[in-house]
Amino acid sequence: MKTVIHERNGVRVAEILAEGIIVNDPGDFLDLVANSGSRHLVLKKENLCPEFFELKSGIAGEILQKASNYGVAFGIVGDFENVKSKSLRDFIYESNRTGRHVFVPTLDAALEMFCAG
């Protein structure tokens, strides 16, 4: 696993680069936060366990609650265009609307949202 720090408009964003699943639960997420060096964290959707995207599991809610509690903005990069679950689509829409935790197609889109001057 590698962390790349991007800085725009005085905002530091830690991009986590890893192969496979690295976040299975809120503890894994908090470990990333503690080691990232930033209050803005971005990773690929492939790095999250599949249960994250099954809202009834509660994992997404727990992780995003931890992010909020610790003042961390969280960006998830991936293709969310063809999400079949209405509840997940609504969750993504609401998250993106508030802008604190975002589901975006590219790293640049996350950086733009987190570092808008």
Q: What pLDDT shows up at residue 116?
A: 84
* DSSP type of residue 13: E
CA torsion sign for 69, 41, 101, 43 is: negative
Q: Say which CATH topology domain 2-114 has.
A: Transcription Regulator spoIIAA (3.30.750)
> Could you give the CA distance from residue 79 to residue 100 in angstroms, rounded to a whole number?
19
Burial of 82 (0-12, 13-18, 19+ CB in 10 A): exposed
Intervals of the chain under pLDDT 70: 117
Using alpha carbons, list the distances in angstroms from residue 31 to 26, 35, 84: 9, 6, 31
What pTM did the predictor assign? 0.94
Q: Look at residue 117 in the predicted model and tell me its pLDDT.
A: 63
SS3 18: coil
- What pLDDT does residue 11 have? 95
71: left (phi over 0), alpha (psi -120 to 50) or beta: left
Of how many residues is the chain composed? 117
